[in-house]
Amino acid sequence: MALSSRRSWNEWTSGNSHSDQDPDHPAFCLSHVLQSPQMWLGIFLGGVLTVIMIMYQVRGAIILGVLFVSICSWPRDSAVTLFPHTPTGDSLFNYFKQVVAFHPLEKVGNAANVSLFIHIIIRLGGC
């Protein structure tokens, strides 16, 4: 930002410089910054709770903070949900269900066939 484009103190404090300010209360911002419930959940429950757990030397404090915030944001009817009842929220929730669904290991190339292993051990006289 160039120095000439910076506003003076009078422009900052007068209510006429921004359309998101109340002319009667120039220090009051009407732009609704920092009013998102998701942001406050992340700051206080994620950040502050994690810091408190770190202060008490809780092992895994960071992952516990992340898990706590994630679990709090899963219910669809809460104010902090990532999946509101909108078309975008529905598509995100459908994708989320695919991610957290249990997939058996039979489709994985590295799945072990334990019955053959048990058969060999029995033949060799083990167990």
Contact present, 107 and 76 (Cβ < 8 Å):
no
Q: What integer pLDDT is reported at residue 62 of this predicted model?
A: 93
pLDDT tens-digit profile of 84-94? 899 998 999 99
pLDDT tens-digit profile of 54-80? 999 999 999 999 999 888 888 888 888
End-to-end CA distance of the chain: 76
> What is the pTM (predicted TM-score) of this model?
0.52
From the CA atom positions of the chain, what is the Rg in Å? Answer: 27
